[in-house]
Amino acid sequence: MTDRKLNLILFGPPAAGKGTQAKRLVADHALIQLSTGDMLRAAVASGSELGERVKLIMQRGDLVSDDIVIALIEDQINQNPDAAGFIYDGFPRTVPQAEALDAALASRGMAIDSVIRLVVDDTALMDRIKTRFAEQGRKDDNPESFAIRLGNYNKQTAPLLPYYVAQGKLAEVDGMQSIESVSTQVGDVLKMIKAAKSPQKKGFFARLFSR
Ligand code: ADP
């Protein structure tokens, strides 16, 4: 089965700029952003049973259970059968989540096309988070919770890198540049993926050579 839908993971530590880049991709390429962080924050804000269960875990900077986030993602994939594609932002964050996503996509005739890693050093992340905490007051941006989030990223999420390298899907982008420049680099990766997937492109070369 040829898989036409784009499935793109934005990967990187907390405050690397995944959300910012995901929103730009949504605007430029009509993709749907699936951010487990946003979904969980919405659950907390709504005071739902799920929100109550995850509230304190999130505030201290820990990861919520794999089952919860996998169910949220599958639900969104099911609710958007006509989407041109999906950008996963903040998911997967553990190896079991990555395996569950691969299985969920495979059972729907899809696969991850690329994992775009935003590379940002820890000092820059700390600076960004200080500014964001001052500006937005997000509860898990306080220094203690942020240190826990960064630790969890290094322990549980960074091991996904070899998982995707083994699949030949990892693309790296310098996330220390301006938002504009990062966006251009991400856009370039996307162009390559789209070109590789496009049947018109193959048709174009076939026509060229058959003249
Ligand atoms: P960040 O700025 O750290 O990337 P997010 O908005 O993606 O923040 O996530 C905020 C919090 O929501 C995380 O610290 C964690 O508690 C929870 N969370 C979000 N996505 C996941 C996930 N895929 N697995 C487990 N917990 C998650």
In tens, the pLDDT along 103-120 reads 999 999 999 999 999 999
To the nearest whole percent, how much of the chain has pLDDT over 90? 88
pTM of the model: 0.91
Tell me how many helices (H) and strands (E) the chain has.
10, 5
pLDDT at 187: 94
**pLDDT score of 205:** 58
Q: Probe ligand 1: pick from 64, 95, 97, max atoms within 8 Å of CB?
A: 64
Element (H, E) at 6: strand 6-11
- Residue 203: per-residue pLDDT: 59
Grade residue 3 by pLDDT with cuts at 50, 70 and 90.
Answer: confident
Q: Mark 117-134 as b/e (b = at least 16 C-beta within 10 Å).
A: bbebeeeebeebbeeebe
pLDDT, mean over the chain = 93
Interaxial angle between packed helices 95-106 and 66-79, expressed in degrees from 0 to 180 and rounded to the nearest 10: 30
Whether the CB-CB separation of 186 and 115 falls below 8 Å is answered with: no
Q: Locate the ligand 1 atom nearest the alpha carbon of residue 92 and give its number.
A: 23
Do the bridges between strand 85-89 and strand 114-119 make them parallel or antiparallel, or are there none, so unpaired?
unpaired
Q: For 30-84, how does the pLDDT look when each residue is reduced to its tens digit (9 = 90+)?
A: 899 999 999 999 999 999 999 999 999 999 999 999 999 999 999 999 999 999 9
Burial of 2 (0-12, 13-18, 19+ CB in 10 A): exposed
Q: Is there a contact between 111 and 3 (Cβ–Cβ < 8 Å)?
A: yes
The full length of the chain comes to 211
Instruction: Please report the pLDDT score of residue 1 as a whole number.
Output: 46
Q: Is 140 in the pocket of ligand 1 (CB under 6 A)?
A: yes
